[in-house]
Structure 1
Amino acid sequence: MEQFVTSRDGTRIFAKQDGDAATDAPTLVFANSLGTTLELWDQVLPLLPDGMRIIRFDNRGHGRSDVPSGPYTMGAMVSDAEAVCDGFEVKDCVFVGLSVGGMIAQGLAIKRLDLVRGLVLSNTAAKIGNKKLWRDRIDIVRQKGMSGVADDVMSRWFGRAFRTSPDVKPWKEMVSKVPVEGYCGVCSAIAGTDFYTPTSGLRLPTLGIAGSEDRSTPPDLVRETVDLIPGSEFKLIRKAGHLPCVDQTEAFAETLNGFLYRIGHSVSAG
């Protein structure tokens, strides 16, 4: 099932539901990284346990969601995720966020703990980079366009083996198609976000996932964030870059499924 939901500021967010359609089924909500669409998770879905309700959405400025004028704020992006969850009558989901999606996950858990019973924070952090880094990124994107920076993005996302293989082509094409306004808008949201203090107040089952070859959010940064949450778990996936659901799909799915089983959100580990 596909539908648009309307966020608090009127932005339409494109969302898709797969798997079990019952609202009382154990639910997973996925949030994407900067520069990707909900297709980021296509390879993972067939490897998930049976009986799950799976909800994905395109971040504002990406895919089939609206592209409002920037800059965006993290508060607005969290409200987008909230609108998706409310639109699909989500309660007690496990929210899986990658990169900026992981920031959205933290913000949603802080704001609406009734929606989230567990977090998977993949290749993300409470604070990513600094304002100068993101300001410089925005300037380069506005000068060169998305196709002009796609190769650089691939070098941050993937290790050499994947980056030099034919498998990288669709991901480069995906980045090249992102609207400049949407990409820069989300960059601004990341630049203005520091969740160290609020995330340290969270108390819910949490899994952190990092890639050994991730140049965007190195493993130590991911571990530092998940360590803010007492009782959290951490998994390093070898030979994975910034998108382990892409370049190490089976290892990512196995890690996620094991967590879902341990916290009682699925009846099998895969």
Structure 2
Amino acid sequence: MPTLSINGAQIYYEDSAPNQDNLPQDQQKPVLLFAHGLLWGTHLYDKQVEHFKPNYRCIAFDFRGQGKSEVTKSGYDMDSLAEDAIALLEALEISKCHLVGLSMGGYVAQRVALKRPDLLHSLILLDTGAEAENPEKKADYKKMLRAIHWLGIKRISKKVMPIMFGETFLNDKSRKQEYKTWLEHLRQNNKKGAMRATAGVIERDGVLSRLPEINLPILIVVGDEDKPTPYEEAQKMHFAIKGSKLAVIKQAGHSTPVEQPEQLNQVMSTFLKLVNTQSN
């Protein structure tokens, strides 16, 4: 199981082309780094890795406290997680990548772009926002934290699913097995790790006012059924970042890579081709 010791934590990652450093520079694939959303892990991007790995070196990692990474006592604020992502790139000796971040991963990705734009070819922000947590939602998430504390993840997992997924996915009987698979992924979360990660997300500062500082090709994607970060949140980022692209994924909630992988892969492919053309 590949892990790296980063900022006091054992961070798990998956690399589709771990030996490509041995190849001549002109034969090396560009890197796609995937940062998952709250309570998930590398598995969130399985369909994207499968699609892109013929042409890209795909690296997905688990944030501390989640997936297969170590549960640490601290380091769950968005800036610390951004430092973890930066340290991962440096440890793998990756000079530049396309950074993909969903929800929490998107909050982190924006901070990486503000701290170390030299490490990025482009930024792909999925189902995320740039402001501090809405006070009403924050109160709801704090209730969820108390429920996790007293009841455990398993007892509340079915109530979390409608936050993570849109109505189309949840009501599609042909995807019942997928629903069960993702429910089980939720239940696998470490209780302490989940609570610390959730607290880090809901206590984050906003960075919307700083987004105009980012001078990179940026794709912003949102599902039309996304409840936690709806279209309005994506639009605010789009207006704040000059030259950014905004795409809406039909019949998708807060987990577009899972709910509508083909749509998302097509949108990402179009964007990446454009970025690669402009950089050549």
TM-score (norm 1): 0.91
Equivalence for 1:119? 123
Q: State the partner residue of 1:74.
A: 78
Q: Does the 8 Å contact 2:16/2:53 carry over to 1?
A: no
User: Letter of the aligned partner of 1:126 in structure 2?
Assistant: A
State whether structure 2 residue 236 is matched by structure 1 residue 224: yes
Asked if the contact 2:169–2:252 (Cα under 8 Å) also holds between the matched residues in 1, the reply is no
Q: Does 1:136 align with 2:143?
A: yes
Equivalent position amino acid for 1:73 in 2 = D
- Equivalences for residues 1-270 of structure 1 within 5 A: 3-8=2-7, 10-19=8-17, 21-23=19-21, 24-48=28-52, 50-70=54-74, 72-127=76-131, 128-130=133-135, 131-164=138-171, 165-193=176-204, 194-264=206-276
- CA spacing shift, 1:85–1:71, aligned 2, 3 Å: closer
Equivalent pairs: percent with the same residue? 28
Count of aligned pairs:
265
| Runs of 5+ unmatched residues, structure 1 | none
Q: Which amino acid aligns with 2:15?
A: Q
8 Å CA contact 1:26–1:266 kept in 2: the answer is no
Q: Provide the C-alpha distance between the structure 1 equivalents of 2:278 and 2:145, rounded to a whole number of angstroms.
A: 41
* Structure having the larger proportion of residues in helix: 2
* Cα contact 1:71–1:184 (8 A) shared by 2: no
CA distance in 2, matches of 1:5, 1:113: 23
Q: Distance in 1 between matches of 2:128 and 2:259?
A: 17
Give the letter aligned to residue 40 of structure 2: T
SS of the residue aligned with 1:120? Answer: strand
Please tell me whether the aligned partners of residues 158 and 243 of structure 1 are also in contact (alpha carbons under 8 angstroms).
yes
Deviations 1:29-76 (A, max 9, x none): 000000111011112222226331111101111111000125721122
Decide which moves more: 247-256 or 130-139.
Answer: 130-139
Which has the higher Rg, Structure 1 or Structure 2?
2
Shift of 1:151: 1.0
CA contact (8 A) 1:29 1:94 kept: yes
Q: Deviations over 1:186-206 (max 9, x none)?
A: 112212321112223111100
AA in 2 matched with 1:13 = I
Q: 1:71 to 1:144 in 2, by over 3 A?
A: farther
Shift of 1:135: 2.6
Ranges in structure 2 where 5+ consecutive residues have no aligned partner:
22-27
Q: Please state whether the residue corresponding to 2:4 is helix, strand or coil.
A: strand
Using the size of structure 2 for normalisation, the TM-score is 0.88
RMSD: 2.0
Deviates most, 173-182 or 155-164 = 155-164
